[in-house]
Copies of this chain bind each other. A is one copy, B any other.
Amino acid sequence: MAGIANGNRNGVNCKSNSAGDQGHRKSCWYQEDIDDDLRWSFSLNSILHEGVTQYQDIQLLDTKPFGKVLILDGKLQSTEMDEFIYHESLVHPPLLHHPNPKSVFIMGGGEGSTAREILRHKTVEKVVMCDIDKEVVDFCKSYLVVNREAFSDPRLELIIKDARVELQTGLEKYDVIVGDLADPIEGGPCYRLYTKAFYEETVKPRLSHHGIFVTQAGPAGIFSHTEVFSCIYNTLKQVFKYVVPYSAHIPSYADTWGWIMASDSPLSLSLEEFDLRIKQRINGENRYLDGETFISASTLSKAVRKTLENESHVYTEQAARFIYGHGSNYRLNL
C-alpha cells in the first residue's frame, strides 16, 4: 500500500535510504497545555492504561524523556524519572526537622510515593493516607511498582475519604501532617483545604506538640510563584509561628515547584545536623535531598522573596465563595 507524504517515503518493497530512516521524526506524542499559551510535549513509547474513576480521568503513559507518567484529568501528576525530587522535598524536610516523628497523616497522596518516602524514616510507626479516590489508589497500587512495598507496609493505614472530613471528625494527633493535594484554585475542588480557617480549626488541632505541617504549594518559578505559592505562604503565616518556604526545579513540570513547612516550634537545623539525621533516620539513600540541597532550596531568589514579603492575600472561605463563578467559568474556557 502506497502511503502519503507526497511520495517522499520509503516503501514496502524497496530497500530504503538509511539517511531517510534516521531522518524521520518521533511520531507519537503526549501533549499538555501548561496554560493557554504554553505547551509541553513528550514523545511516547506507549499508552499503558486509560480509565475513568468516579472523580477523574486517569492515564498511565510510557514516555521517552520521563519514563512512566501518571496523568489525572489531562494534567501531568508525576513521572518515573523525576518524582523523587517532588516527594523527597515534600516529605524529608518536615520529618527531619521534627525531633522524633512517629505518626504522619497524608491528605491525598493516593499515588503512594509520599507514603513511600515517609516509610523510609525509621522513627515512623504509623502513616495514615487519606485519599478520596479509591480507584486511583488501587490503580497506583497495581501499576506503580516502585510504591508496592510502601502500599503493603503494615505501618500504612489507608482511608478512602475526603481528608477534610477525616481531619475534622477524628481525634488522634499527628507529629507531621502532609498536604499532597491539588492547588487552591478559587472554585476548584481543593480550595477549602488551603484556607486560614482550615489550617486553624482543622489542621493545627490535629498536630501533636512540636508538630509540623507541610504542603505542596504549587508552582514557585520566578513568574509562576505569584499564582498560589505566595498566598499559601501568607495564609500559613497567619496561623503558625514558623513558616519555611522552599522550592526546586522539576524538569517534567517545566517549572520550579514549591513546598512550605509550618509549625509553632522553631524550624531550624544546621547543615551538619540535617545530614546527620538523614544518615541516622532514613533507610536507603536520597537521590535528591541533602543538607546543602535544602539550603539552596530554602534560599529563595530575590524576586520570589520580595513577593512573599509583600503578599497580603489570605485564602478564606469568603474569598472562595466570592470567586466561585470565576473558578468554574475559567474551566469552561480551557
Binding site for B on A (CB under 8 A): 1-17, 19-47, 50, 55-57, 59, 61, 63-65, 70-78, 81-83, 85-87, 107-111, 113-114, 130-133, 136, 162-163, 180-185, 187-190, 193, 216, 218-219, 221-224, 227-228, 248-257, 286-290, 292-293, 295-297, 299-303, 305, 327-328, 330-334
Contact = CB atoms under 8 A, between A and B. Distances in A.
B332 A305 contact: no
29 contacts: A3-B182, A4-B34, A6-B218, A7-B219, A11-B108, A12-B108, A12-B132, A12-B182, A13-B108, A13-B133, A14-B188, A16-B189, A20-B73, A25-B74, A27-B30, A27-B59, A27-B74, A28-B28, A29-B29, A36-B64, A39-B41, A40-B40, A44-B44, A44-B47, A47-B47, A287-B302, A288-B301, A288-B302, A293-B302
A72 B72 CA distance: 32
Contacts of A41: 38-41
Contacts of A224: 6, 251
B21 A57 contact: yes
Contacts of A163: 13
Contacts of A333: 22-23
B59 A15 contact: no
Contact of A109 (B12, B31, B64, B193): B12
A319 to B, nearest CB: 15
Contact of A254 (B4, B289, B299): B4
Given A34-B4, A222-B249, A9 B300 contact: no
Contact of A27 (B32, B82, B256, B302): B32
A55 B227 contact: no
Given A10-B75, A13-B110, 7 more contacts: A5-B35, A5-B75, A13-B180, A17-B327, A23-B332, A38-B43, A85-B222
Given A15-B55, A23-B334, A292-B300, A9 B183 contact: yes
Contact of A28 (B61, B75, B82, B327): B61
Contacts of A6: 34-35, 183, 218-219, 224, 227
Contacts of A302: 286-290, 292-293
Contacts of A73: 9-10, 16, 20-21, 24
A250 B187 CA distance: 31
A75 B39 contact: no
Contacts of A3: 72, 75-78, 182, 253
Given A27-B31, A110-B13, A8 B74 contact: no
B14 A132 contact: yes
